[in-house]
């Protein structure tokens, strides 16, 4: 789906306040409320807007240790490993990448002991040929969304 200017206006208003109703978005943007409601329905149907979720600060909940895992994987085990990482409750991002590694995963943990268990699990996984782990010292920006422009 290629969004037009009205779609971008609705998306950007929703990005500013994900809890805004169609009426509130209409008031903010100057678009008619029925137009906003129809556009939201169409954006949801096209999976452009995939859902509405709370933004949780995991550090406030005790998940103070973040880690970035860079994994080199045996080619036959790539799909199984990425499936397991995708389903892992502490992994907040999993990417297949080019370069020196095959997979980059980002996880959040309550403490270094839990992180250590995860590292050992990854290092003994038969699909993992090599692993590098970096502990996050400071989260400067994480999974922020950006406004949609015309280009």
What does the domain layout of the chain look like in residue ranges? 5-45, 58-136
Cα–Cα distance measured from residue 92 to residue 13, given in angstroms and rounded to the nearest whole number? 25
Domain 5-45 has CATH 1.10.10: yes
Instruction: With 0.85 as the threshold, say if the pTM is over it.
Output: no
Cα–Cα distance measured from residue 124 to residue 119, given in angstroms and rounded to the nearest whole number? 9
Per-residue pLDDT of the chain (151 residues; tens, 9 = 90+): 788 999 999 999 999 998 999 999 999 999 999 999 999 999 999 999 998 888 888 889 999 999 999 999 988 999 999 999 999 999 999 999 999 999 999 999 999 999 999 999 999 999 999 999 999 999 998 888 888 886 6
Residue 47 structure tokens: 């999976």
Q: Out of 3.30.70.920, 3.20.20.10, 3.40.50.720, 3.30.950.10, select the CATH number for domain 58-136.
A: 3.30.70.920
- What are the strands, taking DSSP E only, across 33-122? 65-73, 91-96, 103-109
């Amino acid at each position: 789906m290629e969004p037009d200017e009205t779609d971008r206006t609705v998306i950007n208003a929703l990005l500013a306040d994900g809890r805004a109703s169609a009426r509130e978005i209409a008031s903010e943007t100057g678009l008619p409320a029925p137009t906003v409601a129809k556009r939201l329905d169409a954006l949801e149907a096209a999976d452009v807007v995939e859902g509405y979720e709370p933004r949780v600060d995991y550090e406030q909940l005790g998940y103070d240790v973040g880690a970035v895992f860079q994994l080199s994987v045996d080619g036959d085990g790539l799909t199984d490993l990425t499936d397991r990482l995708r389903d892992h409750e502490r992994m907040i991002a999993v990417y297949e990448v080019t370069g020196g590694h095959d997979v980059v995963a980002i996880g959040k943990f309550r403490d270094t002991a839990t992180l250590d268990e995860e590292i050992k699990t990854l290092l003994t996984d038969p699909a993992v040929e090599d692993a590098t782990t970096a502990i996050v010292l400071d989260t400067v920006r994480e999974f922020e969304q950006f406004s949609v422009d015309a280009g």
